[in-house]
Amino acid sequence: MRKYRVADVSETELEDLVRQAPGLIEAGLKFVDHQAFTARGPLDVLLIDSGRALVIAELKVVEDDAMLVQGIDYYDYVLRNLDGFARAYKRHKIDSKQEPRLFLIAPSFSVTLLNRIKWISIPISLFTFQCIEFEDAKGETVPVYKEVTAPAVPERVEAYSLDDRYNYITDAKIRGLAQKFVAEIQGWDIERVLVEPTKYDISIKISGRVVAYVGPRRKHFMVYTNDTGGKWTGYPINSESDLETVIPLVRDNFDKMVR
């Protein structure tokens, strides 16, 4: 196994890493521009997703609650001038009929920011990052991104079903993995584990405390739980091996809750 160390980067260096490989953040992302002018100042990075929607990416190399307001300011400017951006970057074939997306990318996010973001209706995605440098390739820095989910807004009581959540996954094999994962956790304590469908996810609780969320996607699903450092983290599940990696982590969190 190659040895590596965690590397610190500047915002300029992070911008360059995003520019070089935006697909590491989300499959299908492509670079459009960086430091593009807006009335609110130059925005960090412009991207386009696989559906041709424009993506505004706000980057920080330290935890910074102010990035939320800053990102919204840029989003507001871009949304009001979306046709102009589509013309300016015509070769990227931006679909100006689609609502833009806002990405916040930072090493970590505070509880305060996560709590605030759940009340904002614009499409915001959060990604933490860590840069690593391999010992046998000095100067070669590789960013590793993880999608983070904010707490859900308290909802009015509505009728949701587990079948609705599972059937959102169009890949039958992946749907089966999601069902297997939930069933395995239920088997740890059939009396106290509560599995509930929400508007978008499946909540898994032990004695009233959330141990994990399952977030169905079309071709995969996300498992959200605390990582080894206690941070709420999302893990994409695309295969049986992904599931085998995540289950011990969920089990550890489960065991801590039942002690």
Residue 3 has pLDDT above 80, yes or no: no
pTM tops 0.85, yes or no: no
The architecture in CATH of the region 4-148 reads: 3-Layer(aba) Sandwich (3.40)
End-to-end CA distance of the chain: 36
Domain with CATH 3.30.720 in the chain: 162-258
Q: Place 152 in a pLDDT band, splitting at 50, 70 and 90.
A: confident
Class of domain 162-258: alpha beta
Contact present, 33 and 78 (Cβ < 8 Å): no
Asked if residues 193 and 203 have their Cβ atoms less than 8 Å apart, the reply is no
Q: Is the CB of residue 185 less than 8 Å from the CB of residue 178?
A: no
Segment holding 221, helix H or strand E: strand 221-226
- Spatial CB neighbours of 72, under 8 Å, sequence gap ≥ 6: 102, 120, 122
Tell me how far apart the alpha carbons of residues 51 and 37 are, in angstroms, rounded to a whole number. Answer: 24
For the segment 155-177, what is each residue's pLDDT rounded down to a tens digit? 665 678 999 999 999 999 999 99
How confident is the model over 18-39, as pLDDT tens digits?
A: 999 999 999 999 999 999 888 8
